[in-house]
């Protein structure tokens, strides 16, 4: 409007507003706009305020503008405080409702409806399907958001009547709501947006298990192009991204080079391939030899029943401790719910005996608080009961043996992509030296696959401190001459 009124053609003579706070609520905005209108010869008239002409009228306009800005700032402050209080009470503050949820009225305070998120089951089922496809895909291989979007479209799934796009799926896989809580980032009294440490976390119904969401997040973070090149994520080489030069002065990754017109392929230090041979003396090794050494070591030294039982022996103890902790939390949650329900009953008694009026705002507030608490505790109790029921499966030595046999079969599979994914479940690093090969891996990934019963590791080996290869066993092929293996073209064998 201001641009039109101050245009070169001067099509506007007068701007009429109901009052000045409909024109602007910030002092600087009003002064700048009025100045532009005045220079263009356009009058500004407030039909409910008569300021009069001259300096006195201008002074009154300025005073009203200051009051309008103060009112606007006060209203913003009140709104921010109300939103933070609403969030702390567990209510929804508005905005776009995530796919899989809807809003329902949870409490009424006067004329104000307080709402919470509730699950839309048919949408939640699609969300669970998406979280299952991301790490496991259709045949054990993780799927990216574009592949998932194509599969959903081909099978007739829509996002509230619209097709699933890559960006929408990216949002679904990063939304914290599905884990059972989301952050409210309402600004503080000073207008500054709070940092993560000051966010208010609001509980909501859980659609996916937090562990499952964390697994998906780890896979996506690991496979992100900024962190892992696509050739490592999608390439055919078994040890790409895992094999490194064990020379202390180098430590560069190994890459594939070919020989005899492409008839042979070798793992070689990237520093030497890029022309820095003086930095590294690491010798190359045939690709199939190093792959065979690794696979044989895993099957003979890690997945043998006695060794695997030793590695995973403490899992049973950890499960027992987790179940004891959940049982204790469940008992406390049930007791807290009983106290809240008792408090509601006492409030009813006070109202029934006319000791308090149901219109008393204190009574309404206490009712709403206790009802909210009971609803939240019901969700907590349901979640704990579900976790305890899942945790009743006992991990026995026989189960560990079957788990080891399953991993052996996967490592021997003809499908290179599948074999590569399972190698990355067990192995975190393969160090190639002149006279030894060092293989290290994470024990926590094995534990996770055993306890959760995952169909597929997701192609990611998280970096954790606890390793299945302790220091005294670190160099299982120690003192073995790699040069002999290369000269004789035979795979290395563990000593």
Residue-range domain boundaries for the chain? 2-88, 101-223, 230-312+397-488, 314-390
- What is the band of 489 on the pLDDT scale with cuts at 50, 70, 90? very low
The dihedrals phi and psi of 236, each to the nearest 5 degrees, come to: -80, -15
pLDDT of residue 297: 82
Using a pLDDT cut of 70, give the percent of the chain over it: 77
pLDDT of residue 448: 64
Q: 245-249, 258-262, 363-367: which has the minimum mean pLDDT?
A: 258-262
- What is the band of 70 on the pLDDT scale with cuts at 50, 70, 90? confident
Which is higher by pLDDT, 400 or 279? Answer: 400
pLDDT of residue 477: 39
Residue 26 in tokens: 């910030």
pLDDT at 415 over 90: no
pLDDT of residue 475: 41
Q: Which of 450, 445, 9 is nearest to 219 (CA)?
A: 445
Which is higher by pLDDT, 483 or 304? Answer: 304
pLDDT of residue 314: 64
pLDDT of residue 320: 61
pLDDT of residue 317: 58
pLDDT at 11 over 80: yes
CB 352 within 8 A of CB 294: no
As a CATH number, domain 101-223 is 3.90.1750.20
State the average pLDDT over residues 247-254: 77
Place of tokens 């008694």: 349
Using a pLDDT cut of 90, give the percent of the chain over it: 13
Tens digit of each residue's pLDDT (9 = 90 or more) over 29-60: 888 888 899 888 898 888 888 887 778 877 88
Mean pLDDT for the chain? 76
pTM of the model: 0.47
CB 182 within 8 A of CB 176: yes
Distance, CA of 2 to CA of 363 (rounded, Å): 51
pLDDT at 92 over 80: yes
- What is the band of 14 on the pLDDT scale with cuts at 50, 70, 90? very high
Q: Which of 46, 39, 57 is nearest to 2 (CA)?
A: 39
pLDDT of residue 100: 94
State the average pLDDT over residues 440-447: 70
Residue 99 in tokens: 């796919």
pLDDT of residue 130: 93
CB 381 within 8 A of CB 338: no
pLDDT of residue 322: 65
CB 116 within 8 A of CB 202: no
CB 140 within 8 A of CB 156: no
pLDDT of residue 458: 41
pLDDT of residue 55: 81
């Amino acid at each position: 409007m201001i641009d039109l009124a101050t245009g070169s053609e001067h099509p506007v003579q007068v701007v009429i507003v109901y009052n000045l706070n409909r024109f602007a609520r910030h002092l600087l905005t009003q002064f700048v706009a009025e100045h532009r209108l005045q220079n263009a010869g356009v009058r500004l008239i407030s039909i409910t305020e008569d300021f009069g002409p001259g300096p006195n009228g201008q002074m009154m306009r300025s005073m009203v503008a200051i009051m309008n800005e103060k009112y606007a700032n006060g209203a913003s402050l009140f709104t921010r405080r109300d939103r933070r209080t609403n969030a702390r009470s567990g209510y929804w503050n508005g905005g776009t409702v995530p796919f899989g949820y809807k809003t329902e009225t949870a409490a009424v305070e006067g004329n104000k409806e307080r709402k919470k998120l509730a699950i839309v089951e048919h949408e939640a089922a699609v969300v669970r399907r998406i979280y299952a496809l991301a790490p496991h895909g259709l045949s054990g291989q993780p799927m990216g958001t574009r592949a998932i979007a194509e599969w959903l479209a081909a099978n007739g799934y829509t996002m509230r009547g619209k097709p699933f796009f890559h960006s929408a799926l990216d949002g679904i896989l990063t939304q914290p709501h599905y884990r059972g809580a989301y952050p409210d980032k309402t600004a503080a009294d000073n207008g500054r947006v709070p940092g993560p440490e000051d966010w208010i976390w609001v509980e909501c119904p859980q659609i996916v298990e937090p562990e499952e969401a964390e697994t998906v997040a780890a896979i996506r973070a690991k496979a992100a192009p900024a962190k892992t090149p696509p050739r490592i994520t999608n390439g055919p080489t078994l040890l790409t991204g895992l094999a490194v030069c064990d020379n202390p002065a180098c430590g560069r990754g190994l890459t594939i080079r070919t020989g005899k017109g492409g008839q042979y392929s070798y793992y070689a230090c990237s520093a030497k391939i890029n022309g820095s041979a003086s930095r590294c003396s690491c010798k190359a090794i045939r690709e199939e030899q190093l792959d065979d050494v690794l696979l044989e070591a895993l099957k003979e030294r890690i997945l043998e029943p006695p060794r695997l039982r030793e590695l995973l022996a403490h899992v049973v103890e950890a499960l027992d401790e987790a179940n004891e902790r959940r049982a204790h939390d469940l008992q406390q949650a049930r007791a807290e719910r009983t106290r809240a329900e008792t408090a509601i009953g006492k409030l009813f008694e006070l109202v029934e005996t006319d000791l308090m009026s149901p219109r008393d705002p204190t009574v309404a507030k206490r009712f709403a608080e206790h009802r909210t608490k009971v609803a939240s505790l019901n969700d907590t109790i349901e979640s704990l009961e579900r976790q305890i029921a899942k945790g009743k499966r006992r991990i026995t030595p026989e189960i560990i043996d079957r788990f080891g046999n399953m991993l052996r079969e996967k490592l021997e599979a003809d499908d290179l992509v599948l074999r590569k994914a399972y190698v990355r479940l067990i192995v975190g690093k393969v160090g190639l030296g002149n006279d030894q090969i060092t293989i290290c891996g994470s024990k926590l990934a094995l534990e996770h696959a055993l306890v959760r019963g995952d169909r597929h590791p997701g192609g990611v080996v998280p970096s954790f401190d606890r390793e299945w290869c302790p220091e005294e066993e670190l160099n299982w092929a120690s003192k073995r001459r790699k040069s002999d293996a290369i000269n004789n073209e035979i795979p290395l064998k563990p000593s």
